[in-house]
Structure 1
Amino acid sequence: MTAALTFDDGPSPRYTPQILALLRRFVDSATFFMIGANVEKYPDVARQVADEGHRLGNHTYSHPDLGKLSAARVRDEIQRTGDLIARATGTPPPTLFRAPGGYFTPASLAVCADLRLRPVSWSVDPQDWSNPGTDAIVRHVVAHTRTGSIVLEHDGCLTDRPIAPGGPADRSQTVAALAAYLPRLIDAGLHFATVAP
């Protein structure tokens, strides 16, 4: 009865620490797929995630549509991010990769093979990034999470705009939903672990 919690698009100085605080209460470890540009801006937050024992994954530097990039640009997006994460956290580069939007292109899969990165998708997507409401996120996760599930949520966003309620960088619903559904799933006998390397 084990599933994996994953968080994309961080680190965020506002929301990643809130999620880490909840994970300390309920879960041994989760997997954070980080955007290189955010790691560059918030290296201390990336380091905190690593220091607390969570697995780090590569989510490209700028969260582009990989299908619109040359093979060389795809490689740069992935390799640059791995280097930034390693430098910020003092850990080896990640061994996991998640494509933006889950759109793995032939070029991205070739880079993964060359850099020995494991491509990782998900099986439970409450679309928390769209701010559908805390209750909607909770209902979706509880209804669809079972043994072997990989749950997708977001702890950050690639934007320089101010965090406005309901705006593209607002992850408050994700935090509130996590606080609500984790105790329910754990009480139902589910355990959480990182995505395997």
Structure 2
Amino acid sequence: MQKDQLFTRRRMLLAGTAAAGAAGTAGLFAWGTGGEPVPPAAPAAGAPVRRLPMKPSAYRLQPLTGYGPPSTAPRRIPVRRVPLLRVSARGRTMVLTFDDGPDPRYTPGILDTLAEYDVRAMFFVCGAMVAEHPELLARMADEGHVVGNHTWSHPLLTRLSRRQIRSEMSRTCDVIEDAYGERPRWFRAPYGAWNRAAFQLGAELGMEPLAWTVDTLDWTTPGTHTIVNRVEQGAGPGVVILSHDAGGDRTQSVRALRRYLPQLLDSGYHISVPHRQHL
């Protein structure tokens, strides 16, 4: 998929705003003091109306240089010393996350289950896997899931130089943007091994570090029943669940999701994705 062929949701929103703005300001409305469009007064019958030159007014957009919301500089991402372990949310909200994909053997099954229950999740993907299966990220975008950066080749960051860490992260950001349509806003260190350079470089690339609250340890293939029990016992408001959709045989992870997801929903949990408050 070529980068110049992608229309991100943000670009589509701006394009739609531009079209609406063009129709709404083509001599049809002025702006009132309350910020609502006010139709122009109809001319009185009789002599032709004398057209006076428009004067600058606090109620008109002078000059009119474009449409859409005013552009503002993005806020600086804080450089954290520890990753976020849970999310702040009202009520019984939880986040499901899946690492190391996308993998065509297991990711589609997870996406199918999430779609069946109309649930959104987070996928922390590896750049090398995205390069081989970009169509799975396109599906994630279409179905409203959030994609995070999990480096290019899943290395132990604490053993890499700063330059190597930057390459692992930035290459993955680029390939995610090509396949998903947006650059990632979250990242997760492989093996949960964070260091100062990872936090700094992640912030420079516009990403927040997200870890997890409950580790299902599904990568050890402990059995579907054990994975389900770990999720149900660890469930709670703001909890972030860690599972995997790649990196080995993830059959148990796919089966476990089909069992614990409806049980969480029946228990009153709202499964959602985190939102960056400063964006």
Runs of 4+ in 1 over 2 A off after TM superposition: none
The yes-or-no answer on 1:6 pairing with 2:85 is no
Tell me the residue number matched to 1:26. 117
Tell me the residue number matched to 1:171. 250
The yes-or-no answer on 1:68 pairing with 2:159 is yes
The yes-or-no answer on 1:130 pairing with 2:220 is yes
1:154-193 maps to which residues of 2 (within 5 A)?
A: 154-157=244-247, 169-193=248-272
Tell me the residue number matched to 1:112. 202
Cα deviation, residue 6, structure 1: 0.5
Question: For 1:135-178, what per-residue CA distance to the aligned partner results, in whole angstroms no more than 9, with x for missing partners?
Answer: 11001100011110000000112xxxxxxxxxxx1101001100
> Which of residues 130, 141, 151 is equivalent to 1:50?
141
State the secondary structure of the residue aligned to 2:242: strand
- Under a length normalisation based on structure 1, what TM-score does the superposition of the two structures give? 0.92
Query: What is the distance in 2 between the residues matched to 1:151 and 1:109?
Result: 21
Cα deviation, residue 29, structure 1: 0.7
Structure index of larger Rg? 2
Query: What is the distance in 2 between the residues matched to 1:128 and 1:195?
Result: 23
Cα deviation, residue 195, structure 1: 2.6
Query: What is the distance in 2 between the residues matched to 1:9 and 1:92?
Result: 19
User: Which residue identity lines up with residue 97 of structure 1 in the other structure?
Assistant: F
Tell me the residue number matched to 1:145. 235
User: Which residue identity lines up with residue 207 of structure 2 in the other structure?
Assistant: L
User: Which residue identity lines up with residue 70 of structure 1 in the other structure?
Assistant: S
Question: For 1:79-111, what per-residue CA distance to the aligned partner results, in whole angstroms no more than 9, with x for missing partners?
Answer: 00010011112x121010000011111110110
The alignment-based identity, stated in percent, is: 45
Cα deviation, residue 25, structure 1: 1.5
Query: What is the distance in 2 between the residues matched to 1:28 and 1:141?
Result: 16
The yes-or-no answer on 1:102 pairing with 2:172 is no
Which ranges in structure 2 are unaligned for 5 or more consecutive residues? 1-91
User: Which residue identity lines up with residue 140 of structure 2 in the other structure?
Assistant: V
Query: What is the distance in 2 between the residues matched to 1:106 and 1:24?
Result: 37
Tell me the residue number matched to 2:4. none
Cα deviation, residue 28, structure 1: 2.5
Question: For 1:30-68, what per-residue CA distance to the aligned partner results, in whole angstroms no more than 9, with x for missing partners?
Answer: 010000000011111121111111001000000000011
Higher relative CO (CA 8 A, sep ≥ 6), structure 1 or 2?
1
Query: What is the distance in 2 between the residues matched to 1:190 and 1:152?
Result: 17
- Under a length normalisation based on structure 2, what TM-score does the superposition of the two structures give? 0.65
Question: Could you tell which deviates more after superposition, 147-156 or 21-30?
Answer: 21-30
Query: What is the distance in 2 between the residues matched to 1:34 and 1:58?
Result: 6
Query: What is the distance in 2 between the residues matched to 1:27 and 1:190?
Result: 13
Cα deviation, residue 183, structure 1: 1.1
Give the number of equivalent residue pairs: 185
Query: What is the distance in 2 between the residues matched to 1:42 and 1:172?
Result: 19
User: Which residue identity lines up with residue 71 of structure 1 in the other structure?
Assistant: R
Tell me the residue number matched to 1:39. 130
User: Which residue identity lines up with residue 11 of structure 1 in the other structure?
Assistant: P
Query: What is the distance in 2 between the residues matched to 1:71 and 1:42?
Result: 28
State the secondary structure of the residue aligned to 1:156: coil
State the secondary structure of the residue aligned to 2:154: coil
Query: What is the distance in 2 between the residues matched to 1:113 and 1:196?
Result: 16
